[in-house]
């Protein structure tokens, strides 16, 4: 089945080119059907490889250039359950958003489908690549497609969001390229396995540490970790909703996947002695991100912005999972990634339904209007609870594994961070849902602050009728998220796959010598299922938080005011950061990089 591997990338690319060649000859419905079929094909192929590679990963040498004496001559694609799984997720979300877009846009430009297909292909290329420069090229391709899709509506704020996104992420890409240069200068190799082998297990010197710092920063900029997150809310708020599904559902998380892949193939050896420091630094970054994102999420009333900040918070949780550097943590993070991606995709699609029908996504002004959309309301309720970690959704399983791993490393406080992140983001979504679909909470007149920004509707006029193609995709995504949580033994299977993922000698052997020693089996010291108690607790807290937010005005006036006064400094600081000025964002990017470097130096000294 090996020959099918490149099709995952070549098919959507070819599809995009075909759509452009035949753009005048194709009626729009054909273009839709064609794009949906192609994206669906990616999902099916990805799923196929997910099952196929469960035992042994697959290495595909493009152009047939197999390595010689351990020196990679060509470019390798590496298919294991992780890369295939994420490719499946990309295909699924792509299919869902293209089906949704079918009846969503009144008149969509001819370029939309072609751009979406290139975007999908680029993301798949990024996650399959086993070569560090190919990673960079597909990172750039994915970014360029994302910039264009962000600015697709070409109104002022869309262009603004596009510019901020493009400038900060390009600089992130330059950082990655600098890191690649350093590694290439040291090892003379571009293949991940070969670099890892050349660096060996030796102690890390300045060059390796700086290379890791630069590559991590570049990918952090993509995965929107604080303080590199500024672009994300701006871009998500303005990008067309079907595009946001892919942005939040998988693009942001791909940055973290990239770090994990590069770390465990290249840096794991030289960093063996520094593991404690790596863990501390990444845990701090993840915690700050998870909490800041959660806070900001609760403060938003523009629904797409709210969802964007919740993505930031969850990216922080994912980083915590990876930062534990334990198989259980990574397994948890990978399940969490998929679960969150599906749920978040569904939520963005629901926001799209609102925007389609009412030409508005402001929580306050939509108050009560959603009563006509019971289906959408139910989906939002389920998805909100899934974000908060209600059983049986996949998010809970991932979270439970991460918590378990953290306890193993005596990081008990991680549970509290995860709990807060779930409660804050779930609570914010439920609050918005309660207000929009049930009409609870304060009316627009009672709300002190004005709307954050006006969004240009993506449809010509408000719609009375809604086509089934718009409700089915989010419902399907939520159902998938629940299925993941219910899948038997998923935790164990993920851990078995992680055992290979973490084993760099197995990766290198498979890539460079064509055979791999079996990875060391992982001793399952603890349970690897969902922790139902925690899930119910965090879901209940999220509901309570949402109700509190909605009915805060019923509290005695003094209490309400006191809470507001307490929060004001934090709100001021957090909002002040988001100046929207591209120069500021670049300054923050540089300060963040330096801070990470400084934090690293301090931790290395202390630990």
Partner 1 sequence: MTIRSRQIMALGSTAALGLLLVWGVIRLPDFGAYPGPYSDVLNAAAVAERHVTNIPSAVNFDYRAFDTLGEEFMLFVAVAGLAVLFREQRGRSNRKNPSVVQVSEAVRWMGSGLIGFTVLFGMMIVLHGSLTPGGGFQGGLILAMTVLLIYLIRGDEAFERLSRRAFVEALEAAGAGAYVLIGLAMLTTGGMFLENLLPIGRLRELDSGGTIFLINLATGVEVSAAFVLLFAEFLEESRKPSSER
Partner 2 sequence: MNVLPYVIAVWLFLAGLYGVATSRNLIHLIVCLSVAQSSTYILLIAIGYRQGAGPPIFTYVPPGTPAVDPVVQALALTDVVVSAAMTALLLAVAVRIYKQTGTLDPQKIRPLRS
Cβ proximity to partner 2, 48 vs 133, nearer residue: 133
* H or E segment to which residue 60 belongs: strand 58-61
Cβ proximity to partner 2, 127 vs 237, nearer residue: 237
Q: Which residues contact 238 (CB under 8 A, 6 or more apart)?
A: 150, 153, 155, 157, 158, 160, 161, 162, 455
Cβ proximity to partner 2, 302 vs 500, nearer residue: 302
For the bound state, the minimum distance from the C-beta of residue 39 to partner 1, rounded and expressed in Å, comes to 16
Per-residue contact string for residues 162-181; x = within reach of partner 2 by CB under 8 A: xx--xx--xx--x--xx--x
Q: Which of 285, 271, 32, 250 is nearest to 122 (CA)?
A: 250
State yes or no: residue 583 binds partner 2 (CB under 8 A): yes
Which is it for the CA torsion 43, 339, 333, 94, positive or negative? Answer: positive
Distance CA 510, CA 500 (A): 11
State yes or no: residue 278 binds partner 1 (CB under 8 A): no
Distance CA 33, CA 470 (A): 15
State yes or no: residue 582 binds partner 2 (CB under 8 A): yes
For the bound state, the minimum distance from the C-beta of residue 202 to partner 1, rounded and expressed in Å, comes to 13
Q: Which of 459, 477, 456 is nearest to 467 (CA)?
A: 459
Which of 39, 45, 79, 121 forms a contact with partner 1 (CB under 8 A)? 121
Which of 453, 560, 594, 607 forms a contact with partner 1 (CB under 8 A)? 594
Distance CA 574, CA 334 (A): 29
Which of 27, 29, 68, 446 forms a contact with partner 1 (CB under 8 A)? 68
For the bound state, the minimum distance from the C-beta of residue 180 to partner 1, rounded and expressed in Å, comes to 12
State yes or no: residue 154 binds partner 2 (CB under 8 A): yes
> Which of partner 1, partner 2, none does 603 bind, CB closer than 5 to 8 A by kind?
none
State yes or no: residue 388 binds partner 1 (CB under 8 A): no
State yes or no: residue 132 binds partner 2 (CB under 8 A): no
For the bound state, the minimum distance from the C-beta of residue 518 to partner 2, rounded and expressed in Å, comes to 33
For the bound state, the minimum distance from the C-beta of residue 453 to partner 1, rounded and expressed in Å, comes to 20
Q: Per CB under 8 A, which region of 92-100, 316-324, 488-496, 585-593 contacts partner 2?
A: 585-593
Distance CA 552, CA 573 (A): 23
Applying the rule CB under 8 A, the residues between 306 and 365 that interact with partner 2 are: none
Distance CA 328, CA 524 (A): 9
Q: Per CB under 8 A, which region of 146-154, 340-348, 366-374, 554-562 contacts partner 2?
A: 146-154
Cβ proximity to partner 1, 109 vs 533, nearer residue: 109
> Which of partner 1, partner 2, none does 449 bind, CB closer than 5 to 8 A by kind?
partner 2
Q: Which residues contact 603 (CB under 8 A, 6 or more apart)?
A: 276, 277, 280, 281
197: left (phi over 0), alpha (psi -120 to 50) or beta: alpha
State yes or no: residue 333 binds partner 1 (CB under 8 A): no
State yes or no: residue 24 binds partner 1 (CB under 8 A): yes
* H or E segment to which residue 221 belongs: helix 206-222
> Which of partner 2, partner 1, none does 118 bind, CB closer than 5 to 8 A by kind?
partner 1
State yes or no: residue 597 binds partner 1 (CB under 8 A): yes
Q: Per CB under 8 A, which region of 158-166, 268-276, 373-381, 544-552 contacts partner 2?
A: 158-166
Return phi, psi of residue 79, to 5°.
-110, 110
Q: Is the peptide bond before 392 cis (omega within 30 degrees of 0)?
A: yes
Applying the rule CB under 8 A, the residues between 192 and 231 that interact with partner 1 are: 205-207, 209-211, 213-214
Burial 40-79 (b: 16+ CB within 10 A, else e): bbbbebbbebbebbeeebbbbbbeeeebeeeebeebbbbb
Which DSSP letter does residue 362 get?
B
* H or E segment to which residue 592 belongs: helix 582-606
Q: Per CB under 8 A, which region of 140-148, 333-341, 420-428, 567-575 contacts partner 1?
A: 140-148
Applying the rule CB under 8 A, the residues between 567 and 586 that interact with partner 1 are: 579, 581, 583-584, 586
Which of 184, 463, 536, 548 forms a contact with partner 1 (CB under 8 A)? 184
Which DSSP letter does residue 152 get?
G
Q: Which residue has the tokens 């597909």?
A: 138
Cβ proximity to partner 1, 62 vs 284, nearer residue: 62
Which of 54, 103, 111, 133 forms a contact with partner 2 (CB under 8 A)? 133
State yes or no: residue 176 binds partner 1 (CB under 8 A): no
State yes or no: residue 587 binds partner 1 (CB under 8 A): yes
> Which runs of consecutive H residues, i.e. helices, occur in 300-412?
303-323, 327-358, 374-387, 394-408
């Amino acid at each position: 089945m090996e020959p099918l591997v490149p099709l995952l990338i070549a098919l959507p690319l070819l599809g995009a080119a075909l759509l452009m060649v035949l753009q005048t000859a194709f009626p729009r419905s054909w273009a839709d059907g064609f794009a949906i079929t192609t994206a669906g094909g990616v999902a099916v192929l990805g799923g196929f490889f997910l099952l196929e590679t469960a035992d042994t990963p697959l290495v595909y040498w493009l152009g047939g250039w197999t390595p010689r004496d351990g020196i990679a001559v060509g470019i390798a694609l590496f298919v294991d359950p992780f890369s295939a799984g994420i490719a499946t997720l990309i295909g699924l979300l792509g299919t869902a958003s293209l089906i949704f877009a079918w009846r969503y846009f009144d008149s969509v430009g001819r370029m939309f489908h072609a751009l979406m297909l290139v975007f999908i292909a680029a993301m798949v290329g990024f996650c399959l690549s086993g070569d560090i420069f190919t990673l960079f090229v597909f990172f750039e391709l994915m970014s360029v497609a994302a910039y264009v899709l962000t600015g697709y509506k070409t109104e002022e704020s869309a262009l603004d969001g596009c510019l901020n996104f493009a400038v900060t992420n390009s600089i992130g890409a330059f950082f990655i390229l600098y890191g690649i240069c350093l590694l290439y200068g040291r090892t003379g190799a571009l293949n991940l396995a070969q670099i890892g082998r050349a660096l060996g297990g030796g102690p890390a010197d300045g060059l390796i540490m700086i290379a890791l710092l630069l590559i991590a920063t570049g990918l952090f900029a993509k995965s929107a970790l604080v303080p590199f997150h500024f672009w994300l809310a701006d871009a998500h708020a303005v990008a067309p909703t079907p595009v946001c599904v892919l942005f939040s559902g998988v693009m942001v998380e791909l940055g973290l996947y990239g770090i994990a892949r590069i770390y465990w193939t290249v840096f794991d050896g030289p960093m063996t002695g520094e593991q404690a420091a790596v863990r501390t630094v990444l845990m701090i970054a993840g915690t700050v991100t998870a909490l800041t994102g959660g806070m900001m999420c609760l403060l938003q009333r523009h629904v797409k912005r709210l969802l964007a900040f919740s993505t930031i918070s969850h990216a922080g949780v994912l980083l915590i999972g990876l930062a534990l550097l334990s198989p259980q943590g990574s397994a948890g993070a990978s399940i969490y990634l998929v679960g969150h991606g599906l749920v978040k995709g569904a939520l963005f699609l629901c926001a799209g339904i609102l925007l389609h029908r009412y030409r508005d996504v402001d929580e306050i002004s939509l108050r009560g209007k959603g009563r006509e959309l019971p289906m959408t309301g139910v989906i939002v309720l389920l998805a909100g609870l899934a974000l908060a970690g209600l059983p049986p959704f996949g998010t809970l399983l991932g979270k439970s594994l991460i918590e378990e791993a953290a306890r193993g490393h005596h990081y008990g406080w991680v549970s509290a961070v995860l709990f807060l992140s779930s409660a804050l983001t779930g609570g914010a979504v439920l609050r918005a849902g309660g207000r929009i679909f049930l009409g609870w909470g304060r009316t627009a007149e009672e709300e002190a602050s004005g709307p954050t920004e006006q969004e240009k509707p993506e449809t010509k006029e408000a719609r009375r009728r809604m086509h089934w193609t718009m409700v089915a995709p989010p419902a399907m995504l939520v159902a998938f998220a629940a299925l993941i949580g219910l899948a038997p033994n998923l935790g164990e299977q993920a851990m078995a796959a992680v055992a290979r993922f973490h084993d760099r000698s197995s990766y290198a052997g498979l890539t460079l010598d064509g055979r791999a020693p079996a990875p060391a089996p992982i001793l399952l010291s603890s349970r690897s299922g969902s922790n139902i108690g925690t899930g119910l607790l965090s879901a209940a807290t999220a509901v309570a938080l949402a109700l509190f937010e909605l009915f805060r005005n019923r509290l005695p006036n003094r209490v309400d005011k006191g809470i507001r006064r307490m929060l004001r400094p934090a709100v001021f600081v957090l909002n002040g950061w988001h100046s929207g000025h591209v120069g500021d964002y670049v300054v923050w990017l540089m300060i963040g990089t330096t801070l990470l470097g400084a934090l690293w130096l301090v931790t290395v000294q202390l630990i």
